[in-house]
Structure 1
Amino acid sequence: MTQYYQLLFPYAYNILGSAEDARDTVQEVLSKYYTSERAGIQDEKNYLIRSVINLAINYKNRNKRISRQPAEWLPEPIATDDTADKNVYLKDILSYSLMVLMERLPAIERAVFILKESFDYTHSDIAEVLSISEEYSRKLLSRAKTRLFKPEAAVRSKTQEADTKSLLMDYMDTIRRGDVARLEKMLSAEVALMVDGGGKINVVTKIAHGASEVARVLALVFDKYLQYADAAFHWINHQPALLFSKDGKLYSCLVFELGPDHSIQSINSVVDPDKLSLLSQQIQA
């Protein structure tokens, strides 16, 4: 069962954007499978993948209908450091920026995009998994691609890792010194900051745009809430991140998207205590 959990988790998580919901989805599928009559199932692996994907799509659609999910809702972060949770196939987890963009897609488009672009399924395979025609699969992929980009392979060279860590350490040094002018120069002109407090934490702002505004908000939040916290560098959904903790409790997760010129293109800040609790358990495992 553990082997299948590792295999199935990324399918559910990439569709749902929630590690907790993904775990529940996989557990429900595996529990039903191992406690029911399995006669006639010739390909156990593909049967379980198909079951998880379809259940995840149903959950996503149901949650969209019954929840009042705010526009600034962010996916639950997953640590993808080399030493992170080994119970999931980390290489199959989508990048954080792509997960944020994927929230624009209907669940069925999201599933087609993930299967084709991330897992290299053919349209024939997708049609079988989702019980749709190959032509409809192609149409759904085309729609998704008009708003999204193809995810890059989660491969980092040692040089890239070192350069990225150095840049974020420079960011920390700049913000600790209160050098807002220098901080602005590290941000792209069109930088965007999104903050998800889960409705439980009062945040300075939920969304900010532009180097000047974002730099001001970052400096204010650091001075008011984070200047005495310990900052640690991690990879979250294959993107660089800073995790802020006090007395062993995780308070903030900032996920950065960097441009080719090493400027900061976007920052997604997760301060929702529920999402941070689960992330904390993962990185400490």
Structure 2
Amino acid sequence: MTSGTAEEFTAHRPRMFGLAYRLLGSAEEAEDAVQDAFLRWNAADRTAVGHPGAWLAKVVTNLCLNRLTSARVRREAYVGPWLPEPVLTADGALGPLESAEQREAVSTALLVLLERLTPTERAVYVLREAFDYSHRDIAAVLDLGEANCRQLYRRAVQRVAAPEARFAPAADRRQELVESFVRAAREGDLAGLEKLLAADVVWWSDGGGKVTSARRPLVGRETVLRFLAGITQRLGGGAEHTTAEANGAPALLTHVAGQLVAVGSFELRDGAIAEVRVVTNPDKLAFAARQLTAPAPDA
């Protein structure tokens, strides 16, 4: 591959990673899909590639569709709740997140909802919602009829719809609540945590059978507080809780002995924390851990 061709692929790589991650919910698998796309790009007849960005989007989407089919089988046998891999987004790892809609498109809550869709529905939804593809362009990517793509999109929107609006409250209010939660967790202040949680709060833990975690969602403030009290007692003063932006929103990061052991995302409703989703599976934390130790882009 010539250096110019390699540079051209590199220019498209962040967008392709963002597409693959939204389709797969896995940063590690998204990296693999992008690497496979690179190999195909390297072997392609360049004269047959009229628009590199469109060509790569088609290749990456179809690579992800193949992975989604096998991923569904694996997730059916997954130990405990399945959650997407967290990605730190303050450095633009998933592209610009300048609006509420852009942040929503990479939120943990939406990625969980996308699991309701078939692989093709998910591809249509992501290309339309996150990348603003026309139905005609989506049809070209998926080799489907335009009318079929419209129908798939309508079905996907209906299946992803939640009973209540999912859009986040004001950014400063979200930041305030998450920082208050992290501060209370750091101090072992269960009374402070109680004030932040909705009465019907739901706590999801994804340990994947690799570490000790709740294998069913915990429902209700008292249940969640008992669970948190147990964690606090088990970790003692050995845990360090901080905040960072993950999947477009403020998140909880927990380190023990310098190692990232948990990333938690929050869903808010009526000024309180309504859902908490915490990834503790070490395999799913590997990408975020590498992000934390990577040198700054201008270093």
Q: Fold match, TM over 0.5?
A: yes
Q: Are the structure 2 counterparts of residues 76 and 58 from structure 1 closer, same or farther at C-alpha, using a change threshold of 3 Å? A: same
Q: CA deviation at 1:16?
A: 0.6
Aligned-partner Cα distance in 1 for 2:259–2:189: 27
Q: Which amino acid aligns with 2:44?
A: S
5+ residue gaps, structure 1, are none
2:118 is matched with: 106
Aligned pairs, how many? 277
Q: CA deviation at 1:174?
A: 3.3
Is the 8 Å Cα contact of residues 200 and 221 (structure 2) preserved in structure 1?
yes
1:25 to 25, 33, 58: 33
Q: CA deviation at 1:245?
A: 0.8
Is 2:213 the counterpart of 1:207? no
Deviations 1:116-158 (A, max 9, x none): 111111111111111111221122112211232499899x98x
2:4 is matched with: none
Aligned-partner Cα distance in 1 for 2:73–2:235: 35
Counterpart mapping for 1:223-234 below 5 A? 223-225=233-235, 227-234=237-244
5+ residue gaps, structure 2, are 1-8, 295-299
Aligned-partner Cα distance in 1 for 2:242–2:293: 13
Q: CA deviation at 1:269?
A: 0.7
1:130 is matched with: 142
1:240 is matched with: 250
Aligned-partner Cα distance in 2 for 1:52–1:276: 23
* SS of match in other structure, 1:146: helix
Counterpart mapping for 1:85-124 below 5 A? 86=92, 88-91=94-97, 94-124=106-136
Deviations 1:35-55 (A, max 9, x none): 232332211210111110111
Q: Are the structure 2 counterparts of residues 90 and 20 from structure 1 closer, same or farther at C-alpha, using a change threshold of 3 Å? A: farther
Is 2:267 the counterpart of 1:257? yes
TM-score, normalised relative to structure 2: 0.83
* SS of match in other structure, 2:47: coil
1:168 is matched with: 178
Give me the identity figure in percent. 34
Q: CA deviation at 1:15?
A: 0.6
Q: Are the structure 2 counterparts of residues 262 and 152 from structure 1 closer, same or farther at C-alpha, using a change threshold of 3 Å? A: closer
Counterpart mapping for 1:65-84 below 5 A? 65=73, 68-70=77-79, 72-81=81-90, 84=91
Deviations 1:79-117 (A, max 9, x none): 012xx3x55525366111111111121111111111111
Aligned-partner Cα distance in 1 for 2:137–2:80: 33
CA RMSD of aligned residues (A): 2.5
Deviation larger for 215-224 or 102-111? 215-224
TM-score, normalised relative to structure 1: 0.87
Is the 8 Å Cα contact of residues 5 and 88 (structure 1) preserved in structure 2?
no
Q: Which amino acid aligns with 1:6?
A: P
Q: CA deviation at 1:184?
A: 3.1
Aligned-partner Cα distance in 2 for 1:135–1:71: 38
Aligned-partner Cα distance in 2 for 1:201–1:128: 43
Is the 8 Å Cα contact of residues 96 and 239 (structure 1) preserved in structure 2?
no
